[in-house]
Amino acid sequence: MIDWVHPSVFLILGALFLPLFKGKAQRIYIILLPLLALLTVMLMSPGVHGVVNFLGFELIFGRADKLSLAFAYVFSSAALIGAIYALHVKDVSQHVAAFVYAGSSLGATFAGDFLTLFVFWELMAFASVWLIWSRRVKASIEAGYRYLLVHAVGGVVLLAGIIILYVTTGSIRFDALQVRDAAFYLILIGFMLNAAVPPLHAWLTDAYPEATVTGAVFLSAFTTKTAVYALIRAYPGTEVLIWLGTIMALYGVVFAVLANDIRRLLGYHIISQVGYMVAAVGMGTALAINGAVAHAFTHILYKGLLFMGAGAVIQMTGRSKLSELGGIYRYMPVTFVLYMIGGFSISAFPLFSGFVSKSMEVSAAADLHLTWIWLLLTLASAGTFLHTGLKLPYFTFLGEDCGARPTEPPRNMLVAMGIAAFLCVFIGVYPDWLYNMLPHEVDYHPYTATHVVWALQILLFTGLGFFMLVKHLGGSPMISLDLDWFYRKGAGIFMQFVYRVVVPIEDWFIQVYRSVFRGNLALGIKGLWLDKNVIDGAVNAIAAVVVRCAGALRQVQTGQLQHYALVMVGSLLILSLYSLF
């Protein structure tokens, strides 16, 4: 009798058999895999499962407590919704990549030790990049490579932190880190990179808009929220995160004003929203942690819905820029309404899911008397409605007619959007369903008169501001610089320097060498003699020295794992620095 099954088994191993099925059987199989994963999560009993001893390490594959189960629940739901949305896609490799990606995310969520976490963490990066490359255009291929390189560097930093943690404490348990040493900060940087905390965020808004229509829906759900989960697990109450998160919330809002590509705009709002969660992790109180989990949960559903709506528009019109869209509500009314449910949810309108989740984090800031944090987070939530609830839908579906005559997307896409939209409203109306899943006891009541009126005033008067300024808010065919400039342009400038300055100098040396040493044949013969007698002799002598040194060095070898690990970390750091520059 098997008493515990890892849900990733269905998604990762199950996906490998996907190419064996064809036609209708394949479509059934695509739905079946995430459904089985979801059922496994729903039926999972809390406790520590799947403990494996590997080379002296205790690997824990199944730590199931309220925190990991809440995330696993929404991750597997997102996988199911995403699979339905992508059901019409004929490219099997995309389905496989999406499932391996979702499965790795679940694997990371249930990991009880850092090594298991790391393996799934890396698998996520390698599976997800396929969803970007699968669009098969030049921009996607390039963005995918940048995405992969950034995540590779992040992975190396994370691994370095994990190894140092093991060397210093002898433990790789994935729990709250207490001692503020190198391991603490390296792992934090690794997590922050995946959570897209500025200045480590540019990979997200660079790559997500270049992904396939269905791939972006998966991307919007897993990487950043798995990182939020990891931060909650390891860094609750780390105060620096409060400010980093708040800056993040504002950063996304500012850049969303400038975005013209609809999925880039939504990408900046992932950064903004995850900022709330990061800030809440920094606050670390029971209300704040509950808020972060609740917000991540609802965010995955409404952000998925928004990406599905934007993806439907891109697929049916072939356009992705605000400056080229407009007036298509007539042809895609259902998509428009479903998108708006996502828009109202992310904006935290009463009766929608954002209202019952995001407000917990803001209340947590109030409880801690964090005046500025509270004011800035509230300001950012006005920005959220301004962009995702007003600007994007106005200039995409309403506004001036762009001339496009699309139809509604395939039914499976609408069904997936419908499920997400239903959950957004369901959680908004019946928040206790969500609250029962949260890690701490919930004593929070979102529907008080003051809170409802407060939220409506903020949002509706933001709307007033929008319509007063609407003439200046349309998309313009421009892009805005972000920190990816450093590796997109900065690297180019560095290469120019190499070509223009370093290479000519090297050339000059080669010329000198040629004319001085190789010009003369007699010199060459002498050189041969020199080579035979002096250089070979020198080489042999060096070899003898090396053998002797090796003998001496053998004595230095301690056979202690810590020392080897230390050398590995040092080399990794050097390698990572080398790959940076």
56 is an interface residue for another protein by CB under 8 A: no
Site for another protein in 383-402 (CB under 8 A): 383, 386, 398
Among the residue ranges 177-185, 239-247, 252-260, 427-435, the one whose residues contact another protein (CB under 8 A)? 252-260
Q: Does 336 engage in binding with another protein (CB under 8 A)?
A: yes
User: Which residue number, 113 or 261, has a Cβ lying nearer to another protein?
Assistant: 261
Minimum CB separation of residue 351 from another protein in Å reads: 15
Six-digit token pair at 32?
Answer: 């079946």
Integer Cα distance of 119 and 123 in angstroms: 6
Q: Binding to another protein by residue 469, rule CB under 8 A?
A: yes
Burial pattern 171-185, b for ≥16 Cβ within 10 A else e, equals: ebebeebeeeeebbb
Rounded CA separation 581/575 (Å): 10
Work out the end-to-end distance of the chain between its first and last CA atoms, rounded to an integer number of angstroms: 53
Options 35, 48, 337, 404; binder of another protein; rule CB under 8 A: 337
Which range binds another protein by CB under 8 A, 301-309, 350-358, 458-466, 511-519?
458-466
Q: Are 96 and 15 in contact (CB under 8 A)?
A: yes
Residue 491 binds another protein, judged by CB under 8 A: no
Q: How far is CA 564 from the centre of its chain?
A: 32
| Cβ–Cβ < 8 Å for 433, 294 | no
- Examine residue 495 and tell whether it contacts another protein (CB under 8 A): no
The one-letter amino acid code at 21 reads F
> Dihedrals φ, ψ of 61, to 5°?
-90, -20
CA–CA separation, 252 vs 71, rounded Å? 24
Question: Does 481 interact with another protein (rule: CB under 8 A)?
Answer: yes
Q: Which is nearer to another protein, 382 or 568 (CB)?
A: 382
Of 151-159, 232-240, 295-303, 465-473, the segment contacting another protein by CB under 8 A is 465-473
CB of 85 to another protein, least distance (A): 20
Question: Residue 393 has which token pair?
Answer: 């839908």
Enclosing H/E stretch for 59: strand 57-64
Which of 361/482 has CB closer to another protein? 482
Distance in angstroms (rounded) separating the CA atoms of residues 533 and 516? 22
Q: Pick from 189, 473, 565, 568 the residue near another protein by CB under 8 A.
A: 473
Q: How far is CA 105 from the centre of its chain?
A: 10
Q: What is the DSSP letter of 399?
A: S
Single out the residue of 191, 352, 374, 435 in contact with another protein (rule: CB under 8 A).
Answer: 374
Q: How far is the CB of 332 from another protein (least distance, A)?
A: 9
Stretch that binds another protein, among 115-123, 372-380, 411-419, 534-542 (CB under 8 A): 372-380
DSSP SS3 for 64: strand
Distance CA 300, CA 308 (A): 12
Question: Shortest approach of another protein to residue 104 CB, angstroms?
Answer: 30
Region binding another protein by CB under 8 A among candidate stretches 153-161, 328-336, 531-539, 544-552: 328-336
| CB 413 to another protein: min, Å | 16
- Could you tell me the two tokens for 106? 């679940």
For another protein, the closer CB: 367 or 506:
367
Min. distance of Cβ 435 from another protein in angstroms?
Answer: 19
Query: Which amino acid is located at 101 in the chain?
Result: Y
Tokens coding 193 = 């990179």
Query: Whole-angstrom Cα distance, residue 498 to residue 65?
Result: 54
Q: Which amino acid is at 523?
A: L
How many residues touch another protein (CB under 8 A)? 50
Quick note: the x/- pattern for another protein over 539-558, rule CB under 8 A, is: --------------------
Owner of token pair 């996304």: 252
Angle, helices 333-346/353-367, rounded to nearest 10 degrees: 20
Distance CA 112, CA 68 (A): 10
- Stretches 5-13, 50-58, 248-256, 284-292: which one binds another protein (CB under 8 A)? 248-256
Is residue 189 involved in binding another protein (CB under 8 A)?
no
Judged by CB under 8 A, the residue of 23, 170, 477, 551 near another protein is: 477
Q: What residues from 117 to 146 belong to the interface with another protein (CB under 8 A)?
A: none
The window from 54-62, 64-72, 481-489, 529-537 that contacts another protein (CB under 8 A) reads: 481-489
Q: Which is nearer to another protein, 332 or 434 (CB)?
A: 332
The verdict on whether omega for the bond into residue 199 sits within 30 degrees of 0, i.e. cis, is: yes
Candidates 93, 285, 315, 378: give the one binding another protein (CB under 8 A).
378
Residue number, 22 or 500, with CB nearest to another protein: 500
Please provide the size of the chain in residues.
581
Q: What would the DSSP string read from start to end of 506-549?
A: HHHHHHHHIIIIIS-HHHHHHHHHHIIIIIHHHHHHHHHHHHHH
Contact between 472 and another protein (CB under 8 A)?
A: yes
**Binding segment for another protein among 108-116, 277-285, 429-437, 454-462 (CB under 8 A)?**
454-462
Q: Cα–Cα distances in Å, from 270 out to 196, 212, 526?
A: 9, 18, 70
Interacting residues with another protein (CB under 8 A)? 253-255, 257-258, 329-330, 333-334, 336-337, 366-367, 369, 371, 374, 378-379, 382-383, 386, 398, 449-450, 453-466, 469, 472-473, 476-482, 488-489
